[in-house]
Structure 1
């Protein structure tokens, strides 16, 4: 059977959504209430989460390269989420799923403490205006959440084509006790490091526009 071509143009939506606007998103009362069988063929919790997965290029590629892991993308835009879901079904990727929700607020409702081994924050909305910077997905308050969700030696991956935002995110993460940056040698041994810079729709666009993508990997150490 020939797979149909899912046209992205039918699912276009503006790049930035208001994370504080209530818009018919998934809000589980607690992690135990999430029906993971509705997201993955193998009914188990995800190990990897891609926050703000966009049109899902990275999400699907990571799932294909890690068949033993369930990979969940989180996206707040309804049309974009519908596109990713349709593409996952079309490509028959059993361990990839997407959830429409507000990651800035509801991560503890979705995931249990120590559940995740990888968190990806790739090309997030920079929120340049000062009054909107409370909506940044990497901030002091969110670091508490990421620490809670990651298991010991779990990794946090960041990537952006905005150098000022990259410097800001690195400073925020390093200020939170427990997260340690990987060395260049350690990052280059991680196959996901290359992917966060090259295998996203945003990375391809950034490469065309500026040729620069700034990426970093951090590992959490828990006592």
Structure 2
């Protein structure tokens, strides 16, 4: 069989799979939250090979992204329909509404977000990813998990959103809304002229300090020593962050999840590489 024929078949297979997944997303959004529906043993998690994309994305590109004018304009019911009412109902309601408290920035294939969902079942968790196909994979993964756990309502507290976290975080989150922010194996941008694209800089550290509440924690992990030192340097220099001790890291369950449940973390483990962790607590605002 010629390479052209083989490639054509693979391309057709991927296209058909994406189309079926898109149709499934549309159908499941109406039935996946029905507590009376039976759990189907035939539900399978999506396959990464059908969601191939470049490993990195330029955060300064002019991406075609949708984002709210401000946090109060964000309709979270589209992501958490089982837990949050539509925006039109919230505006006329005096009842407390759940808000996202944990943000997985650059969530990749969603390993961390999914694990956190079971560790914190009463907390809303949002994975944010800029790559289109990777975001689609995580969305399909969450839909499948929700369907598998329809009877117990599992994974209704986790969602994924395609967004550029370097530009639009304040459009989604209010001041002090977040309790935890994760930066797991971010793009190292090795070249010096690319360092401005790193996800943690002096300017962005101030933005994270605005979004995370007092006592909240910023988690970082990477297998690149230079990037680890860069992130530590910029967060250490910020007056509203203080690095937590190695002893604290060794007892924190989120650090353990971050080390082992991300796809990159598993890859580093297989290759017997190093993982560099640094966690920073949000200090109280000065008087």
TM-score (norm 2): 0.76
Q: Which residue of 1 aligns with 2:65?
A: 25
CA distance, structure 1, for counterparts of residue 69 and residue 253 of structure 2: 35
CA distance, structure 2, for counterparts of residue 42 and residue 115 of structure 1: 17
Contact kept? 1:46, 1:71, Cα under 8 Å: yes
Q: Which residue of 2 aligns with 1:134?
A: 196
Asked if 1:10 is matched to 2:50, the reply is yes
Q: Which residue of 2 aligns with 1:101?
A: 163
Q: Which residue of 1 aligns with 2:83?
A: 42
| CA deviation after TM superposition for structure 1 residue 36, in Å | 0.9
CA distance, structure 2, for counterparts of residue 171 and residue 198 of structure 1: 25
| CA deviation after TM superposition for structure 1 residue 5, in Å | 3.1
Unaligned runs of 5+ in 2: 1-39, 85-97, 147-154
| CA deviation after TM superposition for structure 1 residue 189, in Å | 2.2
Q: Which residue of 1 aligns with 2:139?
A: 85
Q: 1:205-220 maps to which residues of 2 (within 5 A)?
A: 205-220=267-282
Q: Which residue of 1 aligns with 2:27?
A: none
CA distance, structure 1, for counterparts of residue 145 and residue 223 of structure 2: 29
**Between Structure 1 and Structure 2, how many residues are aligned?**
223
Unaligned runs of 5+ in 1: none
Cα deviation digits, residues 50-72 of structure 1 (max 9, x gap): 00000001111101111010000
Contact kept? 2:45, 2:140, Cα under 8 Å: no
CA distance, structure 2, for counterparts of residue 217 and residue 26 of structure 1: 31
Q: 1:199-210 maps to which residues of 2 (within 5 A)?
A: 199-210=261-272
Contact kept? 1:160, 1:214, Cα under 8 Å: yes
Tell me the C-alpha RMSD between the 2 structures.
Answer: 1.0
Contact kept? 2:45, 2:145, Cα under 8 Å: no
TM-score (norm 1): 0.97
| CA deviation after TM superposition for structure 1 residue 24, in Å | 1.9
